[in-house]
Amino acid sequence: MPIAFLVSSRLAAQPADGGLDGLRLVEEPVAPAYVKDYDAYAGEGPHSWPVQFDLSNWVLFSAFDGGRRVGGAAVAWNTAGVDMLEGRDDLAVLWDLRVHPEHRGRGVGRGLFEAVVEWARARGCRELKVETQNVNVPACRFYARQGCELRSICQNAYPDLPGEVQLLWYKGL
């Protein structure tokens, strides 16, 4: 299942008095546009997860159109060594959400997100955390529509990708 997307704009972090982490995000065009593929980075794709983490408390969701898989989501929970979980057992992290390009904009992502929320609630989680980047403007819009709150903007989270800014979203459950 591809996770690649076209980057034609980004959310630029600019200084702002009283802004989140002293910053505000302003959408600006990217020229030339380019394709970002998270799976192209070594050690980042789903095949690397079992090597890096104990997946016994993770869950994978799939969405199908007939017999064809058109989307998927992975959730990390209660897993030692996963810094994104902040050492909390009442926090789940939406580790990965992807929808096949031909099925984007049809509610597949929303359905997967809702399934993730229900799964996390059933385990006593009080919050769901999501990480994305400022170059993934469609994802940022999607998480905002799902009721997530942007709580952190970190400009130096990706030393190998100096133009990208980490955005951390939380949804109260």
Residues 127/171, Cβ–Cβ less than 8 Å: yes
Give me the pLDDT at residue 17, please: 85
Q: Which residues contact 171 (CB under 8 A, 6 or more apart)?
A: 117, 127, 128, 130, 143, 146, 147, 148, 149
Confidence at residue 42, expressed as pLDDT on a 0 to 100 scale: 60
- Cite the DSSP H helix spans in the chain: 49-52, 108-122, 137-145
- Predicted confidence at residue 106, as pLDDT, reads 96
* Residue boundaries of the structural domains of the chain: 45-172
pLDDT tens over the chain, length 173 residues: 889 999 999 999 999 888 888 899 999 999 999 999 988 876 677 888 999 999 999 999 999 999 999 999 999 999 999 999 999 999 999 999 999 999 999 999 999 999 999 999 999 999 999 999 999 999 999 999 999 999 999 999 999 898 899 999 999 99
* CATH code of the region 45-172: 3.40.630.30
User: Which pLDDT score is estimated for 25?
Assistant: 94
